[in-house]
Homo-oligomer: A and B are copies of this chain.
Amino acid sequence: MTMNECPPSPSGATAAIPDRARAVHLVARPDGPLTTDAFRGVEVPVPDPGPGHVLVRTGHLGVAAVMRERMDLDGDLPVPPYALDEPMSGPAVGTVVASRAEAVPVGALVAYWGPWAEYAEVAVEAARVLDPALLPAPQYHLATANGATALHGVRDVAGVGRGDVVLVSGAAGGVGSLAGQIARRLGAARVIGTAGSAAKCRWLVDELGFDAAVDHHVDDLAGALREHAPDGVTVYLDLVGGAQFEAAVAVAATHARFAVGGALSTQQAGAPWPRFDTGAAIVKALAVRGFALVHAPQVLGEWPALFRRWLAEGMTFPHTSVDGGLPVLPDTLVALLAGHHRGHVSVRMA
């Protein structure tokens, strides 16, 4: 490798940069539920950082349900699909081990959109230098997109305020587990979640302070929700779509606001979009708004300080940090899509 001379960092970041390292490629577009056959571990050269770039040793890689949709060519996302025979990518934190940019020195902890690879070359404009003292651990920084999505949906799109009865679908997920807690902090009178198992439902109530939680597999979802919201829900944060969207329309109160930020049930299963009872929307004067962070990127900048404050005030950050490095990434994503995880999920490099 050729690069500017860098003094060894206190953490010894430059100590051992290999010539080649591991990465995980997407090698097939899944047709239906994801399996690990879609991925292949490869060995690739470790890049020399170009001018204005840094070389980062990957520390943690975040895993999220939205990745499944980016694997489809006709995915309905505001970002391009993942390319075949190239590394998957996602939110990452890591340590700069070589730098050709003065603003980001060797040893810095940075957040970036990174490849599923042990090393990444990152343009300085795309790297956020983190204050390691701001949040309790590096993987908390991986939750910035999840947290900003939850904040934007609950606060800006749904406008949750005092007295609202808030329903959050996918409440045990990375976004939903924060959204319910944010809704409470913004004054919601009642926070109800849906999740995919009785154990997750208990966890939402016992650990995250939801008032009630319903397993979305029940036969009569709308009926089950109505028991917990006899006067209807005034806000629905939709991270799932499908039958849960339809049930939410059925249990919505007059003038309810829907913030639609995810459609996991359709993304995963290739299922048809939910039916929208426009008659109920008319009679109830529902307001249904789709949202994505791409339309509100400033919220990403707001999140870390708010997160720090809320954590100090008792907010729970439910997360799982899976050990095992690159080889366990495919399994971790498959397990997440199958509903085997709670809260935010990331993989720690070896």
A contacts, CB < 8 Å to B: 69, 76-78, 238, 241, 245, 254-255, 260-263, 266-267, 272-292, 295
Q: By the criterion CB–CB under 8 Å, are A283 and B245 in contact?
A: no
Q: How far is the CA of A272 from the CA of B276 in the complex (A)?
A: 9
When chains A and B are docked, how far (Å) is the Cα of A275 from the Cα of B273? Answer: 6
* A290 x B285 contact (CB < 8 A): yes
Give complex CA distance A241, B77 in Å. Answer: 25
Question: Chain B CB within 10 Å — which of A261, A277, A280 has the most?
Answer: A277
A183 to B276, CA, bound (A): 26
Given contacts A69-B279, A266-B278, A278-B290, 8 further A-B contacts (CB under 8 A): A260-B282, A263-B279, A266-B279, A267-B279, A273-B279, A282-B290, A285-B289, A286-B290
CB-CB under 8 A from A266, the residues of chain B are: 278-279
A288 near B287 with CB under 8 A, answer yes
Task: Write 25 A-B pairs (CB below 8 A) sorted by A numbering.
Answer: A76-B277, A76-B283, A77-B279, A241-B278, A245-B278, A260-B281, A261-B282, A262-B282, A266-B278, A267-B279, A273-B277, A273-B278, A273-B279, A281-B288, A282-B292, A285-B290, A285-B291, A285-B292, A285-B295, A286-B289, A287-B287, A287-B288, A287-B289, A287-B290, A288-B289
B263 and A278: CB pair below 8 A?
yes
